[in-house]
Amino acid sequence: MDQNKALSTQQVADILHVSKSTIYDLIRKGEITSYKVGRKVRFTQEDVEDYIAKSRNLQAASTIKEPSPNDLTFVTNQNSKNFIICGQDVILDVLSNYLRLSGIPALRAYIGSYDSLISLYQGKVQVTAAHLWDGDTDQYNIPYVRRLLPGIPAVIIHLTCRMQGFYVAKGNPKNIQTWSDFARDDITMINREKGAGSRVLLDENLRLLCISGAQVNGYSNETSSHLTVASAVSSGEADVAVGNEKIARQVDNIEFIPIKKERYQLIIKKEDLHTPEVLSMLNIIRSATFKKEFGNIGGYDTTDIGKIVAET
């Protein structure tokens, strides 16, 4: 992917799943590199990836630690009890803001679904969101919670349904329709990072078809967000990528081929279910105000939001 391609403030905000004001704050603090074209702020892809590598694990309100890219570190304020919600969708940012307005010091960790569950197991976060599909059972999240939280009773709470599918060029000139098309010699993909829900969906379907990653052109070319893979398809750097429908509406010159309705769910330890923080969180996501906020946004299905769907 072109590391020098100019990205706008809104595009970077979408990549990091934060507001534009947060990006401007990061610029003021010198935590993300940017440049100006006239009066407009611009970023390169390399600027964004450098920031993610340094601090994607957690952005605390006033204390930022820059971990090694391979070190999953969570920075907390030792003077207060922190309630950390892990996941990469903007719905979690809004939820965190509601909690802070309720007096709960909710923090965010921006990590993929698989690593989020491991962090919950290790006690580094209190709530994690996941959309991990299991090809053997055709279930979302439950098999992974059982495997990655051994011996720990957990509760799975439904948040929303989203449509996953393929990003292809406008008009779908290569007629990409199914998972088996990824193994075609004339197809090049761009992949998500290991542990991302979209990556797991791809890998599970390739496994069921007995297709190895080595047979797929571009399989080892990884990037860290739906927006960046969609942009790669838009610019012609790749023929196909896996992502959600909402992002496809934000990128020009691509089409979205729906493949799988996924379940995006919250996981907490059962022992935490009746804590003030979790009870407040459930009250918020079950409220008419929260449902209305996301019910009017394309790509979110608020049916059954806040419903406990499984206990492990």
Mark whether 79 and 60 lie in a shared domain: yes
Q: Are residues 224 and 271 in the same domain?
A: no
pLDDT tens digits for range 161-171:
989 999 999 99
Residue 176 near residue 256, CB atoms below 8 Å: no
Write the pLDDT tens digit of every residue in 177-222: 999 999 999 999 999 999 999 999 999 999 999 999 999 999 999 9
CA dihedral sign of residues 43, 45, 50, 54: positive
Domain count, the chain: 2
- The angle that helices 20-29 and 9-16 make with each other, rounded to 10 degrees, is 100
Q: Kindly state whether residues 131 and 273 are assigned to the same domain.
A: yes
Residue 227: give the domain boundaries.
164-261
CA gap 184, 285 in Å, rounded:
43
Q: What is the CA radius of gyration of the chain?
A: 19
pLDDT above 60 for 276: yes
Q: Are residues 207 and 281 in the same domain?
A: no
Higher pLDDT, 218 or 44: 218
- 25 and 137 fall within a common domain: yes
Cβ contact 74:110 at 8 Å? no
**Helices assigned H by DSSP within 122-196:** 142-148
Residues 202 and 57 in one domain: no
**Residue 4: band (very low, low, confident or very high) from pLDDT cuts 50, 70, 90:** low
What's the pLDDT at 24? 80
Residue 2 covered by a domain? no
Pairing relation of β-strands 154-169 and 127-130?
unpaired
Query: Where does the pLDDT of residue 81 fall: very low under 50, low under 70, confident under 90, or very high at 90 and above?
Result: low
- Same domain for 17 and 132, yes or no, is yes
Residue 3 lies in a domain: no
Same domain, 217 and 144: no
Domain boundary among 261, 282, 301: 261
Average pLDDT over residues 45-64: 58
Look up the pTM and report it: 0.73
| CB neighbours of residue 299 within 10 Å | 16
Mean pLDDT along residues 51-56: 65
Together in a domain, 17 and 95: yes
Picking from 219, 241, 261, the residue at the C-terminal end of a domain is 261
Residue whose C-alpha is closest to residue 59's, from 100, 26, 14: 26
CATH number for 144 = 3.40.190.10
Strands 106-109 and 83-86: parallel
In a domain, 123, yes or no: yes
